[in-house]
Chain A
């Protein structure tokens, strides 16, 4: 497994990008990447060939799921929309809009969309990461795109609650 560590290392920038899009917070994102790397190194002996990159995306996706679960269990946290509401109409709205649109997605749909669009994984690879059939990946992707379009078209999510 000589190339294992080089492969892990080469994937770090992409993992940071994916984590940043998932968490929208650079510290939380790097925490997630760090936990992913620690776990990958620890499980090196369990890795029997296959695609290191997909495997790392899988670990990160699962760790993020844990993270979201424990965030959800915290009673003190207020909804994202409330926190973000004030600076809604700024000139930077382009980037912020897509950020907010992504935040409205169901987790599995957001993961699928980001893995395809941002990380350039194939449908097959995403199916592997998410542990579901390709058809499920495609329907997640389709729903994510419908939801984002509705969000961006609607502009005001509070007035237009889309399915």
Chain B
């Protein structure tokens, strides 16, 4: 009699349907349910919930795994080019060295990988770079001598306050900027700078939902890009395929952006 009537707790009801109930309580709970209709009803409702959840999503596990999630693919794509796992780690170490002042940078970068976002953003940015950098007469929509107007206009269009870095110290003059469609359909801001020998660098930035990342490099035959995400904005600095020079430029830009966001927070 004691067994049959011993009180059953709500925790035990959950454990019962989740298969977590110790064997020696199984019978007590079963008996309890025959005499407690309200609890039996609860159990039925919870089971129905579980059924509905499994009916809704269970089949996903039987779908063929898409190409991009195949392990060998992920391993291979990480090895291709200069970005092996070791290279990524090395890049993080370089970033730590270069951006030593930015606290938490490496920790954030190491924990947040977003290859899709990286690929999408750098592809867009490099396309824009290649398209506009050859333009002699109309490389930009707003010329660099209207910096204040350009900053205001682009900030309004992208929906967050932009900062247009000052790169005179490394010999680059602002050519100007333009508005572009971003990889996610939102507006992207695009600025161009020019050096004394005519070489051009561009900054492409747009909002992203990707987590913050460490500096990542993407090199192509004639152009290259550095990418990072900070505070929900993805930045891509593109330029000629000279990694050291590009990194120097990126470092200068990053420092100014970081100083600015540091001031705000």
How far is A99 from B49 in the complex, measured between Cα atoms in Å? Answer: 11
User: Does residue B63 face the partner (Cβ distance < 8 Å to A)?
Assistant: yes
CB atoms of B20 and A8 under 8 A apart = no
User: Does residue B65 face the partner (Cβ distance < 8 Å to A)?
Assistant: yes
Nearest residue, chain A, Cβ from B75: A41
Query: What is the interface of chain B mostly: helix, strand, loop, or mixed?
Result: helix
A84-117 CB contact bits vs B (8 Å, 1 = yes)?
Answer: 0000000000110111011000000000011011
B63 CB contacts on chain A under 8 angstroms? 13, 16
B89-118: which have CB < 8 Å to A?
89, 111-116
How far is A160 from B58 in the complex, measured between Cα atoms in Å? Answer: 30
A8-26: which have CB < 8 Å to B?
8-9, 12-14, 16-17, 20-21
CB atoms of A149 and B49 under 8 A apart = yes
Q: Which of A12, A66, A141 contacts B69 (CB 8 A)?
A: A12
B53 CB contacts on chain A under 8 angstroms? 21, 98, 102, 113-114, 117-118
Binding site for B on A (CB under 8 A): 5, 8-9, 12-14, 16-17, 20-21, 30-31, 33-35, 37-39, 41-42, 63, 66-67, 70-71, 73-76, 94-95, 97-99, 101-102, 113-114, 116-118, 122-123, 138, 141-142, 145, 148-149, 152
CB atoms of A148 and B115 under 8 A apart = no
CB atoms of B55 and A123 under 8 A apart = no
Q: Which of B20, B57, B78, B208 contacts A118 (CB 8 A)?
A: B57
CB atoms of A35 and B113 under 8 A apart = yes
CB atoms of A74 and B46 under 8 A apart = no
Q: Which of A39, A42, A70, A101 contacts B232 (CB 8 A)?
A: A70
Instruction: Return 11 A-B CB contacts under 8 Å, by A number.
Output: A17-B60, A21-B56, A34-B68, A37-B69, A42-B89, A66-B211, A70-B209, A118-B57, A142-B10, A148-B49, A149-B45
B114 CB contacts on chain A under 8 angstroms? 31, 35
A21 CB contacts on chain B under 8 angstroms? 53, 56-57, 60
Binding site for A on B (CB under 8 A): 10-11, 14-15, 18, 20, 42, 45-46, 49-50, 52-58, 60-63, 65-66, 68-69, 71, 74-75, 78, 85, 88-89, 111-116, 159, 207-211, 232
CB atoms of B57 and A8 under 8 A apart = no
CB atoms of A145 and B46 under 8 A apart = yes
Q: Which of A12, A99, A118, A142 contacts B14 (CB 8 A)?
A: A142
